[in-house]
């Protein structure tokens, strides 16, 4: 998340975690959304580097990358969910 600053990264993490939670129909709290979004940004950043995609720095690009990473994270966590 380059070019967004500390508070921008927190906002992006919360929004990305919320969007990913809505995709998988999971009711999560603010803190869980933040954690999912921030970990998702790491996963999304690794995916961008792995596929050699050039991402523009900024709020929207960081939100898209973080949201994709958060969706991947929740998908992987869903594979290991024993309740289903």
The pLDDT of residue 83 is above 70: no
Tell me the CA distances in angstroms from 31 to 61, 76, 82, one per residue in order: 22, 19, 23
* Tens digits of residue pLDDT in 3-59: 678 888 888 889 999 999 999 888 788 888 889 989 998 998 899 889 888 877 788
Structure-token match 């709020």, residue found: 59
Average pLDDT over the chain reads: 86
Quote the CA–CA distance of 13 and 21 in Å, as a whole number: 12
Quote the CA–CA distance of 42 and 70 in Å, as a whole number: 9
* Tens digits of residue pLDDT in 54-80: 877 788 888 999 999 999 999 998 888
- 43-82 as b/e, with b when 16 or more CB fall inside 10 Å? bbbeebeeeeeeeeeeeebbbbbbbbbbbbbbeeeeeeee
């Amino acid at each position: 998340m380059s070019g967004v600053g500390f508070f921008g990264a927190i906002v992006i993490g919360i929004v990305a975690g919320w969007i990913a939670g809505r995709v998988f129909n999971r009711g999560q709290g603010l803190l869980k959304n933040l954690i999912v979004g921030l970990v998702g940004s790491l996963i999304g950043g690794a995916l961008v580097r792995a596929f050699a995609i050039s991402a523009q720095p900024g709020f929207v690009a960081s939100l898209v990358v973080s949201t994709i990473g958060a969706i991947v994270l929740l998908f992987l966590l869903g594979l290991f969910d024993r309740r289903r």
